[in-house]
Amino acid sequence: MSKKIIIVGGVGGGATVAAQIRRTNKTAEILVLERNGYVSFANCGMPYYLGGTITDRQKLIYPEEKFAQKYDLTVQTHANVTKINREQKSVVYEKYKTEHKADYDILILSPGASPVLPDIAGLQQSNTFPLRTIEDMDNIEQFIQSNNPQSAAIIGGGFIGLEMAESLCHRGFSCSLVDRSEHVLKRIDKEMAIHIDEHLQEKGIALYVNDGLKSFSDNGTTLHLSSDKTIQADMTIMAIGIKPNTELAIDAGLEIGETGGIKVNQYMQTTDPTIFALGDAVEVTDFITREPAHIALAWPAHRQAFIISSFLSGNPISDDGIIGSSILRVFDLTVAATGQNKQTLIDNEIAFEETIMKGYSHAAYYPGSKELWMQIVYDKNTGQLFGGSVIGFDGADKRMAVLATAIKGKLTVADLASLELGYSPIYSGAKDPLNILGYKAMEQLED
């Protein structure tokens, strides 16, 4: 008898695990239940649609019918799962106000996360928006088309906040960005993040750091900050963070981890071995510290989908931890980070050294060479790499990829110096900036 597999939630986690399972199991009955209207869409592309870089909305969306047909499974959108009955191995879901029940042998939870929307005095939902779903994106675009706003405030200087600041600025908006931290993108250490802050201001973004949103007035168009400064904005994007959607798991009696995500083992099993979980709702293990972490990124969700499908096919592969590699464009800058930053190492009482340097994207004598700032943190005794960040106008992405590989391979700063990387003056120096960074770190360890 074929197994009945129910997947709660689509997009990066649920849709990916459905496709992965079908590749290894041709007979399972797979049902995907997605509470919103789209089972699979490119949520990372939404800011670029709103900025006009992506002009065809449909390119962001994998049509439900096409997805179901390609992977020979059943998809129900607008299907909100309200209850898991672990004893009966069934779920209850509502679709268009009608209640349905479905039985499972294996249940996979991919409920994702929701944007944090604090209860702020004077907030008007008509001109204040999160950006998490296609519906959110459509609401923003409809507001722009209908109201012709000229200014925007972005609350939060993380990935979504920075991408939306760039996108709306490209669209002609006057943009203000507010963040509670002392610099944007707190994933990056201060010494590196200063280059991002400066670049934002060079591009005309009014930047308010060490500040927060206190209240709105004038129908949501005047923002009052904690510093008593005010901002005038026709619309506001709320991008202060996300919280895992764990209500369903909690109601089912599944264990929640200390970071607020669903607790899973190395095979993505919850405390019920017939229920798996993945994506933005789960707690993961940090590769370096081995401590619980909540890392909501696309790559981990896709890897977790592979881990689950491998386990169900009888070829288990365990999760060895997440390093949180991330990259984004901020106007002309590429900003990339992987592994730990200084603050997390301090919090975990891990002794480390730090090396920072400025290099160039390729040989300085070849036209077009651009500045490249690089930072690594590493074990004070052994030199093992713990993390790093790279910021620059060209070549930052490939240096970050090398650092991520080095961290996963548990390489040291001496190994970094000895890496034989491809050289041409068009692409690098005879010694790549990463080699030089490794040599500098070795010198620090010798002092």
What confidence tier does 376 reach under pLDDT thresholds 50, 70, 90?
A: very high
Euclidean distance between CA atoms 74 and 122, whole angstroms: 43
Which burial class, exposed, middle or buried, applies to 118 when counting CB atoms under 10 A from its CB (0-12, 13-18, 19+)? exposed
Q: Return the pLDDT at 2.
A: 85
Tell me: pLDDT of 1 over 80.
no
pLDDT over 90, % of the chain:
98
Q: Which fold has domain 332-446?
A: FAD/NAD(P)-binding domain (3.50.50)
Q: Return the pLDDT at 447.
A: 78
Joined together, the tokens standing for residue 430 give: 């005879």
Residue 160 in contact with residue 184, Cβ under 8 Å?
A: no
Which tens digits make up the pLDDT trace of 98-113? 999 999 999 999 999 9
118 three-class SS? coil
Q: Return the pLDDT at 383.
A: 98
Q: Find, among 257, 237, 7, 282, the residue nearest to 115 by Cα.
A: 237
Q: How far is C-alpha 98 from the chain's CA centre?
A: 34
Sign of torsion over alpha carbons 91, 63, 241, 140: negative
159 three-class SS? helix
Where do the structural domains in the chain lie, given as residue ranges? Answer: 4-114+243-313, 117-240, 332-446
Which tens digits make up the pLDDT trace of 302-357? 999 999 999 999 999 999 999 999 999 999 999 999 999 999 999 999 999 999 99
Residue 188 in contact with residue 344, Cβ under 8 Å?
A: no
Joined together, the tokens standing for residue 301 give: 């969700």
Sign of torsion over alpha carbons 420, 425, 428, 430: positive
CATH code for residues 117-240: 3.50.50.60
Q: Return the pLDDT at 240.
A: 95
Joined together, the tokens standing for residue 431 give: 């010694």
Euclidean distance between CA atoms 3 and 28, whole angstroms: 5
- Measured at the alpha carbon of residue 164, what is the angle toward residues 158 and 166, in degrees to the nearest 5? 100
**CA–CA distances in Å: residue 238 to residues 45, 130, 165:** 17, 5, 11
Q: Find, among 263, 272, 276, the residue nearest to 107 by Cα.
A: 276
Which tens digits make up the pLDDT trace of 187-241? 999 999 999 999 999 999 999 999 999 999 999 999 999 999 999 999 999 999 9
Joined together, the tokens standing for residue 139 give: 């609401």
**Which residue in the block uniquely carries the two structure tokens 């895992």?**
244
44 carries an active-site annotation: yes
- How is 84-129 classified by DSSP, letter by letter? EETTTTEEEEEETTEEEEEE-SEEEE---EEE-----BT--TTTEE
Catalytic: which of 19, 42, 44, 144? 44
DSSP state, 3?
P
Going by their DSSP bridges, the two strands 40-41 and 61-62 should be labelled as: antiparallel
Q: Confirm whether 4-114+243-313 and 332-446 share one CATH topology.
A: yes
Tell me: pLDDT of 132 over 90.
yes
* Per-chain mean pLDDT for the chain: 96
CATH code for residues 4-114+243-313: 3.50.50.60
Amino acid occupying residue 383: G
**CA–CA distances in Å: residue 63 to residues 40, 75, 332:** 7, 11, 33
Which tens digits make up the pLDDT trace of 235-287? 999 999 999 999 999 999 999 999 999 999 999 999 999 999 999 999 999 99
Q: Find, among 406, 379, 412, 410, the residue nearest to 390 by Cα.
A: 406
Tell me: pLDDT of 124 over 90.
no
Which tens digits make up the pLDDT trace of 413-431? 999 999 999 999 999 999 9
Q: Return the pLDDT at 158.
A: 96
Provide CB contacts within 8 A for 365, sequence distance 6+: 425
Q: Return the pLDDT at 123.
A: 86
